[in-house]
Amino acid sequence: MKVLVPVKRVLDYNVKPRVKADGTGVDLANVKMSMNPFDEIAIEEAVRLKEKGAATEIVVVTIGVAKAETDVLLTARAMGADRGILIQTDETVEPLAVAKLLAKVAEEEQPGLIILGKQAIDDDSNQTGQMLAALLGWAQGTFASKVEIAGDRVHVTREIDGGLETVDLKLPAIVTTDLRLNEPRYATLPNIMKAKTKPVAKKTVAEYGVDITPRLTTLKVVEPAKRQAGIKVGSVDELVEKLKGMGVA
């Protein structure tokens, strides 16, 4: 079974985002960009499925600027993906358009399973996997903390608000990863060197015939309201007094 893993290049999760003074967005010039953390978990899960013999080939795909090739596709291949696809564009591509492009890739590649991160930490949308499942007419196992392939089915344990839930899905299916699915491995230097020999197919949006015109216009981006500076109390008694003053104790 072939596994397809879409990944996204985002502002590194350790970097504090700075809103541009003109309110047009977040400043991404000269800041560290990395693979979306949930996507690393997706790659790791695909590699583990391959190590267990459940997957035969791992194809990683990304949509974005040329730099995505070195920033994320290389890491993904160093972690164990077999080959990459870069759909190059400098435009902002919304989740719906990403899902449409990925649906075309899926038609071409015919994977048995597509594993995505549950959300990208830049737009925090949490939509692409579900949209892709809808477009392909496949089952979806979102927010997965455990994935088990059993013949032509996949069992997915999902993190839901009250606890955990397990669903049984018909393959091919979509899985989106939650934080606790696994601990992604590091790309070692020898593997990074080796990854450079693994192929990457370079494509354009036009080749897939998908209209990526945004449906949403961002009118402005602002910083959230700042909290007023607080006070420090010197003792538990003072804290108790404050809490009682607020009527919670």
Partner 1 sequence: MKTLVWVEHDNQSVKDATLSTFTAAAKLGEVHLLVAGKGVSGVAEAAAQIAGVGKVHVADDAAYAHFLAENVAPLIVQLMGDHDAVLFPATTTGKNVAPRVAAALDVMQISDILSVEGADTFTRPIYAGNAIATVQTSDKKLVLTVRGTAFDKAAATGGSGTVEAVAVAGDTGLSTFVGAEIAASERPELTSAKVIVSGGRALGSQEQFHALIDPLADKLGAAVGASRAAVDAGYAPNDYQVGQTGKIVAPQVYVAVGISGAIQHLAGMKDSKTIVAINKDEDAPIFQVADIGLVGDLFTVVPELTEKL
Nearest to 220 by CA among 6, 2, 21, 17: 21
Give the type of residue at 158: R
Q: Does 114 bind partner 1 (CB under 8 A)?
A: no
Using CB under 8 A, count the residues that bind partner 1.
81
> Which of 21, 53, 151, 228 forms a contact with partner 1 (CB under 8 A)?
228
Residues 20, 131: Cα–Cα separation, whole Å: 30
**Does residue 240 touch partner 1 according to CB under 8 A?**
yes
Q: Does 237 bind partner 1 (CB under 8 A)?
A: yes
> Considering the rule CB under 8 A, would residue 243 count as an interface residue with partner 1?
yes
**216 makes contact with partner 1 (CB under 8 A):** yes
Which listed residue (5, 11, 73, 79) binds partner 1 by CB under 8 A? 11
DSSP code of 172? S
| Alpha-helical regions (H) of 27-71 | 37-51, 68
| CA distances for 216 relative to 48, 56, 205, 210, 212, angstroms | 37, 39, 19, 17, 11
Helix (H, G, I), strand (E, B) or coil at 200: strand
Binding mask 76-105 for partner 1 (x = CB under 8 A): ------------------xxx--x------
Contacting range for partner 1; rule: CB under 8 A; set: 69-77, 169-177, 185-193, 195-203: 169-177
Binding partner 1 (rule: CB under 8 A), the pick from 70, 92, 110, 166 is 166
